[in-house]
Amino acid sequence: MRIDVKTLPVNDIIQDIAKNLDATVSSNGGELTLRLPEKIGEGIIKGSSFDSGIGYITYNCKFYKDVQIHFSLNTVHPLKFIFCSQGSVGHSFQAQEKIHEIDPFQNIIVSSNGYNGHVLYFKANEQSHVSSLEVIRSIFTHRSNHNFKDLDPTLIELFKDAVSKKQFFYQGNYSIKAADLMDKIDTLEYSGFLRSLFLEGKAFQMMAIQIAQYQDDENGDKLPQILRKSDIEKVDYVTKRIQGDLGSNLSVEALAKEAGTNVNKLQEGFKYIYKLTVNKYMQHKKLEAAKEMLMNSEKNISEIVVAIGLNNRSYFSKIFKEKYGVNPKYFLKTRKKQD
């Protein structure tokens, strides 16, 4: 199945896809959501446009047939930062036959030249979760970008290329930071005006992650020298395992065995991706959960200490203050004032 998109920005792209699929669109704080019709597939496509010239679109869906989305507007196309966290997606320039496959935890940064468009390829019956940041450079470059200080010269040229003189393609190595961020974006924590602020902030954060990875790669810090894709998947498994069982004190040895790897490789992965050891990452997540409970639950401090798998309240207060700069009681007082 072919879908033709001949509009910009992202909000108009969503409407164009909806027209192709005969689907309805809902809105929340400027974020448009399209639910796939039952005869087409399952899941949603949603996105939002911002005054900064950035748009964010995410495909979290499964099509029942192979689908090609052709972005063929007769004008300069956006600079795209595309990331895949589940399934896979293909990309090609419209005038070229070569298809670049983007696997889970991979990203591409891509710019067509002239009015040449892009094509995205989705495989039939494959659940995919793909995000695309769309940067309209003629608008974005009018922001206060601080002259793109400390940015890689190639990217500076790319951002300033408002009329898309040069074609550019970069395929990144594997990362799960952006995948974690996509999961956060999919939460429905806010609505209306707050949702709009939340989404724009996360869009900039997503761009920062992908630019930082590009610069790391160009500086020679190539991930394949350290971790394979299978190793990244094991790190991802362990992070989800930790987050799903914060009440336990899982050992690194047990986690590594469960994930089918060794302790050194697991530690290597966590240090590369999170700049933390496994235990420090676990502590970080426990304290995040504790803060959330202090602010939004009826639990007292002793109950929270037990809930996150600690047995020493004094130690909890110490590490909590080291992370957040205040004693846990501060958040209890804040909660009581709100009540």
Task: For residues 273 and 294, state if they share a domain.
Answer: yes
Residue 229 has a pLDDT of 76
Q: What is the pLDDT of residues 263-313, one digit of tens each?
A: 988 998 898 888 899 999 999 999 999 999 998 888 999 999 999 999 899
Share of the chain above pLDDT 70, in %: 96
- Contact predicate 239/258, CB 8 Å: no
Residue 338 scores a pLDDT above 70: no
Domain end, chosen from 218, 249, 265, is at: 218
Residue 213 has a pLDDT of 84
Task: For residues 141 and 185, state if they share a domain.
Answer: yes
Radius of gyration of the CA atoms of the chain, in A: 22
Label residue 287 exposed, middle or buried (CB < 10 Å: 0-12, 13-18, 19+).
buried
Q: Which of 65-79, 112-126, 170-184 is least confident?
A: 170-184
Residue 66 scores a pLDDT above 50: yes
Cα atoms in the Cβ-side hemisphere of radius 13 Å centred on 151: 18
Residue 64 scores a pLDDT above 80: yes
Domain end, chosen from 164, 195, 218, is at: 218
Task: For residues 67 and 206, state if they share a domain.
Answer: yes
Task: For residues 140 and 288, state if they share a domain.
Answer: no
Under the banding of pLDDT at 50, 70 and 90, the label for residue 334 is: low
Under the banding of pLDDT at 50, 70 and 90, the label for residue 179 is: confident
Q: What is the pLDDT of residues 208-265, one digit of tens each?
A: 999 988 887 787 654 444 467 788 889 999 999 999 999 998 999 999 999 999 998 8
Under the banding of pLDDT at 50, 70 and 90, the label for residue 60 is: very high
Residue 69 scores a pLDDT above 70: yes
Nearest to 5 by CA among 153, 331, 298, 15: 15
List Cβ<8 Å contacts ≥24 apart for 193-201. 193/29, 194/29, 195/28, 195/29, 195/30, 195/31, 196/29, 196/30, 196/31, 196/48, 199/29, 199/30, 199/31, 199/48, 199/50, 199/56, 200/48, 200/50, 200/52, 200/54
Task: For residues 139 and 275, state if they share a domain.
Answer: no
- Cα–Cα distance, 43 to 104 (Å, whole number): 18
Residue 331 has a pLDDT of 80
Mean pLDDT, the chain, integer: 91
Three-state DSSP state, 180: helix
Task: For residues 291 and 323, state if they share a domain.
Answer: yes
Task: For residues 202 and 256, state if they share a domain.
Answer: no
Task: For residues 208 and 130, state if they share a domain.
Answer: yes
Q: Which of 13-27, 43-57, 141-155, 177-191 is least confident?
A: 177-191
Average pLDDT of span 81-88: 94
Task: For residues 162 and 184, state if they share a domain.
Answer: yes
Task: For residues 146 and 22, state if they share a domain.
Answer: yes
- Cα–Cα distance, 163 to 336 (Å, whole number): 55
Task: For residues 146 and 276, state if they share a domain.
Answer: no
- Identify the CATH number of the domain in which residue 295 sits: 1.10.10.60
pTM of the full structure: 0.77
Q: What is the pLDDT of residues 9-21, one digit of tens each?
A: 999 999 999 999 9
Residue 339 scores a pLDDT above 70: no
Structural domain span for residue 50? 2-218
CA distances from 217 to 103, 109, 229, 300 (A): 17, 13, 16, 46
Under the banding of pLDDT at 50, 70 and 90, the label for residue 207 is: very high
Task: For residues 247 and 272, state if they share a domain.
Answer: yes
Domain end, chosen from 218, 234, 265, is at: 218
Nearest to 214 by CA among 274, 171, 271: 171
Tally the domains of the chain.
Answer: 2
Average pLDDT of span 23-41: 95
- Identify the CATH number of the domain in which residue 118 sits: 2.60.120.10
Average pLDDT of span 174-184: 84
Residue 225 has a pLDDT of 46
Residue 175 has a pLDDT of 76
Residue 337 has a pLDDT of 58
Residue 227 has a pLDDT of 62
